[in-house]
Amino acid sequence: MSFPFRRALPALLSLSTLSLTALAADSPNTHPPANPKVRAILAALGKVQTVGQTSLSPDGKHLAWTEREHGSPGRIMVSDARGQGAEQLATGTDCTASDPEWSPDSRALLFAGDCGKDGQVDLFVTTLNGQPQQITHLKGYAAHPAWSPDGQRIGFLYVPGATRPAGALAAMKPPSGVIGVEGLEIQQVAAVNARGGEVELLTPDKLHVYEFDWSPDSGKLAYVAARPPGENNWWVAQLYTAPATPNAVPTSIVNPQKDPGSLHGLQIAVPRWSPDGAHIAFIGGLMSDQGATGGDVYLVASTGGSPVDITPRADVTSVWPHWMDDRSLIVSEVAGGVSRIAGYHLAETGGAAALTDGKTLVEVPAGISDGREAMSLSIARDGEFAVASSSFEKPPEVYTGELKPDAHLTQVTHVNDAIQPAWGKSESIAWTNDGFHIQGWLMLPRHYDPSKKYPLIVMVHGGPSSAVLPRWPGAGFGGAPMSAMDYFVLEPNPRGSYGQGEAFTKANRKDFGYGDLRDILAGVDAVEKKYPSVDDSRLGLTGWSYGGFMTMFGVTQTSRFHAAVAGAGIANWQSYYGENSIDQWMLPFFGASVYDDPGVYAKSSAIDFIRKVKTPTLVVVGDRDGECPAPQSFEFWHALKAEGVPTELVVYPNEGHGFRNPEHRIDVLERALNWFDQYLGAPAGAAAGQ
């Protein structure tokens, strides 16, 4: 489960009063005192304009991207390919515009717009000199619009009549009726004529679709789908093909649950047709969250057959594939904590297909994406590409580059040039443990002075199949504000993470909290060796989702940490199995259900070691979290109270796994910093009044 900041149960009803009372505006004693320094940091972060979704026209002549200031509608900017002559697309003063995508002939621009009072998103098409034309009038949730290659139709994911976004990160509905049967919202592929008209549903209502791709001739679809409920079954999804016609009968061409090879029991994502329509490439791997894609690149005939791992010995994590021609692919990768774009040739080696002649084209210590999928690029026919990027040092901007060896990203927007980091320097740090090469990111205190001693906070990412890459932080809970408050912050990528190959990602299966915790503690030792100014008697531990579990479990296994903050954690894997709305994710990681192998779940349950805990621990969670339900946090808090360990539980109303309310995100950060200050002591910079 990813750190998002990606159903209430009957037992949760008793928590609703607690959550509303704890955060009531007229209950000042329940709120942390406002910290002027924290508020100043968050105010500075709030000044950053979001620069996100990016589209370079196929002819390489025009660039479109989204910008959004805090509290203002999102807008689309259009310029030439170098960012010159940028003008705002006329979409209406009250419209929030997103998802720009140029048509295959580069003459029209598709975008999604929310121009009403009900939050309904519709699709629009415009030309450079024309007025936007609304082509849909939807009543439901729409996402990920994409032109058909012939430019005649626009496909998109659609949940008719939806009341919430699809996926497990959003707040779950309050339980009522027949659970798991009533009120299911099913996401399908829909299409509309590019000139407008009736919306057609192209996939059956018995399948929940997560991703899709048009065939090169626009006549078929490839899509990843599973039977409803959609938020639970992504982990057992299959790859289907079908004619791009209403209610076409799909054909399953890849089923990882039945695959006898290396894909067995794994997850699949990002299907992409080859230009000749003969093959489909996709990412297959051990993935803990939809959207947090990572694994190897697989290839399957578009008519079906055995999928082949064409990067079987990679020491990186493949995230996003793109065909340049029938024999060449561009692949975005996580490589040891940095983003990499590589070019490969598809060849036959020993009678089997494989990607060969891999060349690193771009490698940057930053996050990159054009906004469609993780690490996706907007690529023109001539090999130029556009992407939004940010790092710990640079706020988000749009960059362009060329897909050739030793290429560099060129910044083409400058909306955030005046913004400077309010936190300390960052650096990649590496160490070895148990034969593994481990990497992480270390942030120094803002006012670092080698002659002073500082506390260190370890922040464990969610997932576990994920990775910390340098990105500009949001205005809420995270490592950068802690560094700004003069803490050392270590964000490790231990075994189970992306970036070191699929074997490394699989290395914590059936071993949660053991090898990965040893990797993290070895990382603390490596930091202390390099920076003697770290005070080993003032170590803190925190994280969200899987990081919240690691926090809960970590304090039962070691006494090195003197304060902890567990966000949306898991205390008892055995009870969790029956409480969460996404139990399908657990089988690939634990090897069996809790009913078939309770021992492997008990082995990693913090509640079974609770008498060992001495670390003061703050526990926070959303009351409608379906991924890591609030009873898990309640159980851990209750046990700590019974054992006399200093603890506090805060339940946030109407929040899912990913907090939406900005005030709640700020509240979590302030509470966490106050907790660390209380039990670790004020950092040196703060004590000096800096």
For 672, the token pair is: 């966490």
Q: How confident is the model at residue 601 (pLDDT cuts 50, 70, 90)?
A: very high
Q: Which residue reads 């990693």 in tokens? A: 604
- What is the tens place of the pLDDT at every residue in 446-481? 999 999 999 999 999 999 999 999 999 987 889 999
Q: Look at residue 106 in the predicted model and tell me its pLDDT.
A: 97
Number of Cβ within 10 Å of residue 603's Cβ equals 16
Segment 86-90 mean pLDDT: 90
User: E-strand spans in 286-396?
Assistant: 296-301, 308-309, 317-325, 328-335, 338-349, 352-364, 367-369, 378-379, 384-390
Q: Is residue 354 part of a domain?
A: no
- What is the tens place of the pLDDT at every residue in 195-237? 999 999 999 999 999 999 999 999 999 999 999 999 899 999 9
Q: Look at residue 3 in the predicted model and tell me its pLDDT.
A: 39
Q: Which residues contact 576 (CB under 8 A, 6 or more apart)?
A: 570, 628, 629, 632
Distances (CA, A) of 312 to 236, 443, 461: 22, 34, 26
Q: Is residue 321 part of a domain?
A: no
Q: Is residue 479 part of a domain?
A: yes
**pTM given for the model:** 0.92
For 457, the domain range is 10-25+446-489+536-687
Q: Which residues contact 72 (CB under 8 A, 6 or more apart)?
A: none
Q: Is residue 397 part of a domain?
A: no
Segment 505-519 mean pLDDT: 97
Q: Is residue 165 part of a domain?
A: no
Q: Look at residue 59 in the predicted model and tell me its pLDDT.
A: 97
Q: Look at residue 623 in the predicted model and tell me its pLDDT.
A: 93
Q: Is residue 87 part of a domain?
A: no
Percent of the chain exceeding pLDDT 90 equals 78
Q: Is residue 459 part of a domain?
A: yes
179: Cα separation from own chain's centroid: 28
Number of Cβ within 10 Å of residue 619's Cβ equals 28
The answer on pLDDT for 2 being more than 50 is yes
- What is the tens place of the pLDDT at every residue in 361-403? 999 999 999 999 999 999 999 999 999 999 999 999 999 999 9
> How many domains are contained in the chain?
1
Q: Look at residue 660 in the predicted model and tell me its pLDDT.
A: 86
- What is the tens place of the pLDDT at every residue in 326-367? 999 999 999 999 999 999 999 987 778 889 988 999 999 999
Q: Which of 27-31, 58-62, 148-152, 532-536 has the lowest mean pLDDT?
A: 27-31
The answer on pLDDT for 651 being more than 90 is yes
Segment 70-86 mean pLDDT: 91
Q: Is residue 606 part of a domain?
A: yes
CATH number at residue 683: 3.40.50.1820
Q: How confident is the model at residue 8 (pLDDT cuts 50, 70, 90)?
A: very low
